[in-house]
Structure formats: C-alpha cells, structure tokens
Amino acid sequence: MYLRPSTVSSYERNDKTPSLFTLKKLAYLFNVSADFLLGMESRYQINTDGLTSRQIFLIEETIESFRRKNPR
C-alpha cells in the first residue's frame, strides 16, 4: 500500500479523512481494528495465531505482571 506523505499528513491533521477502503487497508497493515485507528478503541489486540496454548499463557502472564507493576 502506498500513500503519499502529504496524504498521511492530512489524515494526521484531520484535514482529510481516509476512504473506507483505505481505512480497512491501514487496519490490516498495522494489525489493529478500524475502531483503534479512529480513536474509538484504546486496547491493543495481540495476534496469537500459530502460538501454542503454553505460549499464549506465558504472554498473558507477562502482561498481568506488567499491570501489577504499573497500577493505574
């Protein structure tokens, strides 16, 4: 996917809005939801495809460990 730097800049400044097609492509490219790109969702999603259940468990435990160390 190619976007001119000036186009990206116009998106960042809210001068221009990406088309639905572009929004879907960007979400796929960055592995996030369109809601996240639109600022409607603040949670990251981790793609665990191809990982074992043990690996997923260890990732979840690591995240919980960070949360305990960084209470809100």
- Tokens matching residue 16: 């221009």
In this structure, are residues 22 and 3 in contact, taking their beta carbons and an 8 Å threshold?
A: yes
* Average pLDDT of the segment spanning 19-43: 87
The confidence score (pLDDT) of residue 22 equals 92
- Check whether 31 has a pLDDT greater than 90: no
* pTM reported for the whole predicted model: 0.54
Contact assessment for residue 18 and residue 24, using Cβ atoms and an 8 Å cutoff: no
Q: Grade residue 19 by pLDDT with cuts at 50, 70 and 90.
A: very high
Amino acid at 47: N
- Nearest to residue 37, comparing CAs of 49, 46, 48, 25? 25
**How big is the CA angle at 55 (ends 71 and 41), to the nearest 5 degrees?**
45
